[in-house]
Amino acid sequence: MTGAIINRIKRNHGLEHATIHVLSEGHKRFSAQGNSDHRGFHLNIYGDVTEEEVQAAVAEAHRRLKAGERHLAVHPNCGTVLVTTAALATLAAQVALLVENRGGRARPLSLLNAMPGAMVAVVGAIIVGRPLGVRVQERYTVDGDLGDLIVESVRPVSPSPVTRLFQLLLTGGNPEMQARAYFVRTTGGSG
């Protein structure tokens, strides 16, 4: 049962990414953010994208994934990539501080002394983190093989407080980039 739920989430996550890729092909001034679960996925669009365009993009993404374009399931700005990169960068900074404080004695300027090494370590972690995060995403958090996953509906929903927060973060507060939220309900896709 748990494996079937995980498979559905991974397939919905892949369809979410593929939808964003399809929207990106036709729109240049927009941002998107989503999250998937076993029922489907929420898709938050920031910019001038109509409900009809979102519905068409979901259908096109589904068609293309079913036709074998599995690469569409992977997105470089996925939270998996961001979390992997952030975890590596945090670990790199902590190791740099640990190296500066080797011997167990924290010195008054140890944080300042550790900064150059920490910055180099963090930059290295960011460089490594992005491709590693994409690999983690491909292997563990998305599936481009939809199996028998079917799109049941695409409907607008009220933007949540989280959607509003991402609107501020992704658009820099640009009032022209209005937030629109959708829920894409799916069935099947667990086997």
- pLDDT at position 97 is 84
**Size of the chain, expressed as the number of residues it contains:** 191
Say whether pLDDT at 163 is over 70: yes
CA–CA separation, 123 vs 148, rounded Å?
Answer: 42
Task: Note the pLDDT tens digit of each residue in 119-158.
Answer: 999 999 999 999 999 999 999 999 999 999 999 999 999 9
Q: Let me know whether 160 and 68 are in one domain.
A: yes
Q: Fill in the amino acid letter for 2.
A: T
- With both helix axes pointing from N to C terminus, report the angle between 79-100 and 110-136 in degrees, rounded to the nearest 10: 150
Q: How many CA atoms lie within 13 A of 39 on its CB side?
A: 7
Give the CATH number, domain containing residue 8. Answer: 3.30.980.10
Secondary structure (3-state) at 146: coil
- pLDDT at position 175 is 82
Q: Name every residue whose Cβ is closer than 8 Å to that of residue 159 and which is 6 or more positions away in sequence.
A: 44, 167, 179, 180, 181
Q: Let me know whether 93 and 115 are in one domain.
A: yes
Backbone angles phi, psi at 30, to 5 degrees: -160, 160
Q: Which domain holds residue 182?
A: 2-77+142-187
Split into its structural domains, the chain has a count of: 2
Q: Let me know whether 61 and 146 are in one domain.
A: yes
Say whether pLDDT at 104 is over 80: no
Whether the Cβ atoms of residue 81 and residue 137 lie closer than 8 Å to each other: yes
Q: Let me know whether 58 and 147 are in one domain.
A: yes
Task: Note the pLDDT tens digit of each residue in 9-65.
Answer: 999 999 999 999 999 999 988 899 999 999 999 999 999 899 999 999 999 999 999
